[in-house]
Amino acid sequence: MSKVFGTASAAVADIEDGASLAVGGFGACGIPDALIKAIDAAGATNFEVFTNNCGVEGVGLGILLGGRKIRRVTASYVGDNKDFARQYLSGELEVELTPQGTLAEKLRAGGAGIPAFFTPAGVGTPVSDGGLPWRYHADGSVALASPPKEVREFAGRQYLLEESIKADYALVHALVGDTAGNLVFSKAAMNFNPLAAMAAKVCIAQVERLVAPGQLDPHHVHLPGIFVDRIVQTGPQEKHIEKRIVTTANGRRTA
């Protein structure tokens, strides 16, 4: 069966309400924007999302956030997405903030078939002790807090147990892919894309350029096609500036 789909809409057509999504990208860099727009247009909602952050308003996952189509996010930080912060603090959105390296390893472990792992990151903080606000009440009080995690000592050092991530679908962006699903990412746009791809039951990739098998140097392939189930060519990606900072003549910097 061919992995190639003619449109982004066709590639995401079976994603239903309540699905969990592992989404590549870092801010507005390397985001699977065409796939996200197609999901938004299809009308499904109530998603659980695993991603580094939700970018900015109206771009990438900011589109699904703006449409109130995400119920829960596991991410490293809120960033400059004011709608993300507002929904979280008002109790409209459940958010599990996770150390960035831990999030990366949770995705990688999920793809490697490892159910959990021990890490020193977060030991002695609310990450291990519990109490991080996952959801607020409208009045600002905590409605749901994180539970404590198992902590064990190895070679005289304490580590906490983190469970891996396995999502229903992965949405990723790559610069080049072949019809067998092998992907090549561009510089920093690689970010969380390979990890998200590995951590899902079904990986859907949008690529700027699609080539025939054999046209990619195997040594240049960043993600083998075994991890990719669907691929769609979406053309050159629009480049977004997440935060513009201008330096004036007197050296003052303004956002």
Interatomic CA distance for residues 92 and 150, integer angstroms: 29
88 within domain boundaries? yes
Specify the higher pLDDT residue, 155 or 77. 155
170 within domain boundaries? no
**Mean pLDDT computed over 151-165:** 98
pLDDT value of position 1:
81
C-beta atoms surrounding 254 within 10 Å: 8
Interatomic CA distance for residues 222 and 59, integer angstroms: 26
158 within domain boundaries? yes
Whether the pLDDT of residue 243 is over 90: the answer is: no
Counting Cα atoms < 13 Å in the Cβ hemisphere of 57 gives 9
pLDDT band at 79 (very low <50, low <70, confident <90, very high): confident
pLDDT band at 247 (very low <50, low <70, confident <90, very high): confident
Q: What is the pLDDT of residues 189-241, one digit of tens each?
A: 999 999 999 999 999 999 999 999 999 999 999 999 999 999 999 999 887 77
pLDDT value of position 237:
85
pLDDT band at 143 (very low <50, low <70, confident <90, very high): very high
Q: Provide the greatest CA pair distance for the chain.
A: 61
- Beta carbons within 8 Å of 161's beta carbon, 6+ residues apart: 116, 117, 118, 149, 150, 151, 152
248 within domain boundaries? no
**Mean pLDDT computed over 82-111:** 97
pLDDT value of position 187:
96
89: domain range? Answer: 52-163
Q: What is the pLDDT of residues 38-72, one digit of tens each?
A: 999 999 999 999 999 998 899 999 999 999 999 99
Q: In the chain, what percentage of residues exceed pLDDT 90?
A: 88
Tokens representing 109 are 């472990």
pLDDT value of position 101:
97
77 within domain boundaries? yes
143 within domain boundaries? yes
In the three-class reduction of DSSP (H, G, I as helix; E, B as strand; rest coil), residue 3 is classed as coil
User: How many domains does one find in the chain?
Assistant: 1
**Mean pLDDT computed over 98-107:** 98
The 3 state secondary structure assigned to 33-57 is HHHHHHHHHHCCCCEEEECCCCCCC
**Mean pLDDT computed over 170-174:** 98
156 within domain boundaries? yes
Whether the pLDDT of residue 80 is over 90: the answer is: no
Tallying the residues shown for the chain, one arrives at 255
Q: Which of 93-107, 167-181, 238-252 has the lowest mean pLDDT?
A: 238-252
Q: List strands edge to edge, sheet with 116-119.
A: 116-119, 157-163, 151-154
The 3 state secondary structure assigned to 109-155 is HHHHCCCEEEECCCCCCHHHHCCCEEEECCCCCEEEECCCCCEEEEC
Whether the pLDDT of residue 105 is over 80: the answer is: yes
CATH of the domain at 110: 3.40.1080.10
**Mean pLDDT computed over 20-24:** 98
**Mean pLDDT computed over 33-41:** 98
236 within domain boundaries? no
**Mean pLDDT computed over 76-87:** 91
In the three-class reduction of DSSP (H, G, I as helix; E, B as strand; rest coil), residue 209 is classed as strand
| Average pLDDT over all residues of the chain | 95
Interatomic CA distance for residues 188 and 190, integer angstroms: 5
